[in-house]
Chain A
Amino acid sequence: MTDTTLDRGGFDVRSFIRDKIFLGMSLGEYFRSLLTPGNAVFALILIVGVPIIVYRFAFGIGASSHLTQMNPWGIWIGLDVMSGVALAAGGFTVATAVYVLGLKEYHPIVRPAVLTGFLGYLFVVIGLCADLGRPWKLPVPMAYSFGTGSVMFEVGWCVCLYLIVLALEFSPAAFEWLGLRKAREWAIRMTLALTILGLCLSTLHQSSLGALFLMMPHRLHPLWYSGFVPIFFFVSAIIAGLSMVIVESGLSHRVFKDQVDPKDHGKLDKLTLGLARGAAVVLFAYFFLKLQGLVDSGRFDLLLTPYGYWFLFEMLGFILIPSFLYAIAVRRQNATLARWVAGWTVLGIVVNRLNLSVIAFNWNAPERYVPGFMEIMISVTIITIGIMTFRWIVNRMPVLREDPSYPQH
């Protein structure tokens, strides 16, 4: 079954589809294999969510969300875009570690990290299209009307270019799947250049997502407003990337057990603890950076208010304590603990991004924004389609395993 039609000369579409798309099964077998409880949950989400997305585009943002003139940004920006971009930072973090810093032992997790990054960004852009009033105008700032004085312009360009970089970084896996040796070779040759370009673009857009808020001291609670916000965003993106890779690889090894090379089964704990060590250090540094931001603002008086308690909870509960717990996990060589801490840290990053863009945003406005059901459902649906795409690719391409017919690079 693996020696594909390509080897026999002529290209046979039917057997190509059977081998590459239906995992070597017939159509009937393939559909029967999809009847699992997990897929039932996915199907339910899509049955509810897809019509809501159609409704959103047919009747507008007002009809499908709780966004208002006073609160024009909600969870589509806070969760889909702000959190999505941070959590997709694993791609540049791990690629830099492996290809630039030469930490070859992390090679087995480069491809899943890059794939998570690529799909993360892809679905950020798809989520963004739900939020944009006129998404079909996306080519305007790319092609002919350049708002170069806008931080959003920088974000847009970097995200677009980085999406291309991630696609190219992942392309060797796709070429291996399709049996395109020549193309794969070319793609592999670009690895170092792409990794460096990826880090440049990530530095810029991860930080400039934070820089979007620099112009809004009038809207953002003083405890979260800081001139250092771009730096906070970049540093916490590294934490998000490392933690997300821990979470994703832990889940992948469980869900796609048969995909993983048996000789890699034992390696994961060691890699997880290595990533946890990095995350502990960066989290600790991030705590002190945030502390400097607080000192700089001088607003200690606000700490003893409800917003202040929430700020302290973020500082201690989502930054300082996970930093120590990561360190404990490393010290005791407890990969399971590291995975739980990683999950908690990922949640902490999401909370941070939601704090900036929703919770502490417009804190002094007369009306509060609370996301509506349809709004949440659109986000959930887009995330679900993202997860399904990840699974679809992992089941077909050499992501968690190496293709034995290609040399490791």
Chain B
Amino acid sequence: MDLSRRTFIKFAGAAGAAGLAAKPARAEASALRTVNTPAVLVDTTRCVGCRGCEAACGESNLLPPPAQPGSDAVFSTPRRTDPSTYTVVNRAAASSKEGDVRYVKRQCMHCLDPACASACLAKALEKTAAGPVVYHKERCLGCRYCMVACQFDVPKFDFDSPAPYIHKCTFCAERQAQGLQPACASVCPTGALQFGHREELLEEARTRIYQNAGKYVHQVYGEFEAGGTSWLYITDVPFDKLGFRTDLGPTSPPELTRTALAAVPFVLTLWPPLLMGLYTFSKRRAEASKSGEKEAHHD
């Protein structure tokens, strides 16, 4: 997707207009957006597919160890995250040339205005002020609306359990609260994962793109996608080749439902008087026709 200045202005304008319509919700979301939220910059040109991040994630989140450690066979088909795997590194062919491959780590994108959190009717998924999108398991009904709402197919469900939960990357919220980096970023040996503040990482990403003329695709994935995410990606091959959805657009998903939710007070305040009016009208008409009949009888 190419993001011209015009699209950006349009996006900013739309966000402003929506802000007028739904003030409290918008204020909350935009506050999150302007806060210099924690983020990770993923430079796919630097990733060598060592999967150290997978191992660190499993260890930190008390998950089983990653599949086929040390084996190259694990890359033969792209993997997805699941209830016991919060992050995966996949391999994608960058061109038809043999061995010309890129590795891409996938996990929850920790959107700035996440679909999952706005989908959840019980606030089991929540965008915290600190940045990470966290899951409160004790509130979850298991409705799986978060799964279908997420554009990145991130929340995963214990389909095998009679008392299932949702599972996804936590952005190591607890580690972050202690001033530590997320486990995955802390072990990356090549600097492919860089933890920091979102604004600074965006600067860093742009700097890399501009200083390496012709190397990178001129896009920071996650800067605008689905309203912006805390995980940002840069790459030297088109994003769709790496398995990213490039059709998401800059609107944050909750924005799409805000007009529908804004209709609630209108229905509740306008329907009753309108219906009472109709009721009175129909009653009068019935009485009038009744007395009309009577008069007709008298004649």
Query: A residues near B, CB below 8 A?
Result: 57-63, 67-70, 72-73, 96, 99-102, 104, 131-135, 137-138, 140-141, 145-147, 149-156, 192, 195-196, 199-200, 203-204, 207-208, 211-212, 214-219, 227, 230, 361
Which of A63, A102, A134, A140 gathers the greatest number of chain B CB atoms within 10 Å? A134
19 A-B residue contacts at CB 8 Å?
A58-B162, A60-B158, A60-B159, A60-B161, A60-B164, A62-B160, A69-B159, A100-B282, A101-B279, A102-B282, A150-B118, A150-B119, A152-B119, A196-B272, A196-B276, A203-B271, A207-B260, A214-B256, A218-B245
Q: Is the CB of B267 within 8 A of A203?
A: yes
Residues of chain B within 8 A of A68, CB atoms compared: 159
Contact of B121 among A69, A73, A104, A156 (CB under 8 A): A156
Interface of A is mostly: helix
Q: Given A73-B148, A145-B123, A207-B260, is A132 in contact with B159 using a C-beta cutoff of 8 Å?
A: no
Q: Given A137-B140, A203-B271, is A100 in contact with B278 using a C-beta cutoff of 8 Å?
A: yes
- Give min CB distance, B269 to chain A, whole Å: 10
Residues of chain B within 8 A of A218, CB atoms compared: 151, 245, 247-248
Residues of chain B within 8 A of A153, CB atoms compared: 121
Closest 6 CB pairs of A and B: A133-B142, A62-B159, A102-B282, A211-B260, A153-B121, A133-B164
What residue of chain B has the Cβ atom nearest to residue A133's Cβ?
B142
Q: Is the CB of A134 within 8 A of B160?
A: no
Q: Given A70-B153, A72-B147, A207-B260, is A150 in contact with B160 using a C-beta cutoff of 8 Å?
A: no
Q: Is the CB of A140 within 8 A of B276?
A: no
Q: Which residues 103-142 of B sit at the A interface, judged by CB distance below 8 A? A: 115, 117-124, 136, 139-142
Q: Is B80 an interface residue (CB 8 A)?
A: yes
- Give min CB distance, B129 to chain A, whole Å: 15
Q: Is the CB of A219 within 8 A of B148?
A: yes
- Give min CB distance, B240 to chain A, whole Å: 13
- Give min CB distance, A383 to chain B, whole Å: 21
Which of A60, A133, A135, A138 gathers the greatest number of chain B CB atoms within 10 Å? A133
Q: Is the CB of A133 within 8 A of B157?
A: yes
Residues of chain B within 8 A of A134, CB atoms compared: 140-142, 163-164
A152 to B116: give the CA distance in the assembly, Å.
12
- Give min CB distance, B290 to chain A, whole Å: 11
Q: Is the CB of A215 within 8 A of B119?
A: yes
A62 to B159: give the CA distance in the assembly, Å.
4
What residue of chain A has the Cβ atom nearest to residue B248's Cβ?
A218
Contact of B275 among A58, A70, A100 (CB under 8 A): A100
Contact of B141 among A140, A192, A199, A200 (CB under 8 A): A140
- Give min CB distance, A154 to chain B, whole Å: 6
Residues of chain B within 8 A of A151, CB atoms compared: 119, 257, 260-261
Q: Given A100-B279, A203-B267, A215-B119, is A133 in contact with B140 using a C-beta cutoff of 8 Å?
A: yes
Q: Is the CB of B144 within 8 A of A73?
A: yes
Residues of chain A within 8 A of B245, CB atoms compared: 218
Q: Is the CB of B142 within 8 A of A132?
A: yes
- Give min CB distance, A221 to chain B, whole Å: 13
Q: Given A133-B164, A196-B272, A200-B271, is A216 in contact with B282 using a C-beta cutoff of 8 Å?
A: no
Q: Is B264 an interface residue (CB 8 A)?
A: yes
Q: Is B145 an interface residue (CB 8 A)?
A: yes
Contact of B118 among A100, A154, A215 (CB under 8 A): A215
Q: Is the CB of B164 within 8 A of A61?
A: yes
Q: Is the CB of A137 within 8 A of B159?
A: no
Q: Is the CB of B164 within 8 A of A145?
A: no
A47 to B217: give the CA distance in the assembly, Å.
61
Q: Is B82 an interface residue (CB 8 A)?
A: yes
Q: Which residues 241-279 of B sit at the A interface, judged by CB distance below 8 A? A: 245, 247-249, 253-254, 256-257, 259-261, 263-264, 267-268, 271-272, 275-276, 278-279
Q: Is B143 an interface residue (CB 8 A)?
A: yes
Residues of chain A within 8 A of B253, CB atoms compared: 215
Residues of chain A within 8 A of B63, CB atoms compared: none
Q: Is the CB of B121 within 8 A of A152?
A: yes
- Give min CB distance, B112 to chain A, whole Å: 14
- Give min CB distance, A214 to chain B, whole Å: 5
A196 to B269: give the CA distance in the assembly, Å.
12
- Give min CB distance, B143 to chain A, whole Å: 6
Residues of chain B within 8 A of A361, CB atoms compared: 148
Residues of chain B within 8 A of A152, CB atoms compared: 119-121, 143, 145
Q: Given A133-B140, A200-B267, is A150 in contact with B120 using a C-beta cutoff of 8 Å?
A: yes
What residue of chain A has the Cβ atom nearest to residue B78's Cβ?
A366
What residue of chain A has the Cβ atom nearest to residue B160's Cβ?
A62
What residue of chain A has the Cβ atom nearest to residue B161's Cβ?
A60
A195 to B271: give the CA distance in the assembly, Å.
11
Q: With contacts A60-B162, A100-B275, A102-B285 known, what are 6 further pairs, Cβ within 8 A?
A: A60-B159, A69-B159, A100-B282, A134-B140, A153-B121, A218-B151
Residues of chain A within 8 A of B141, CB atoms compared: 132-135, 137-138, 140-141
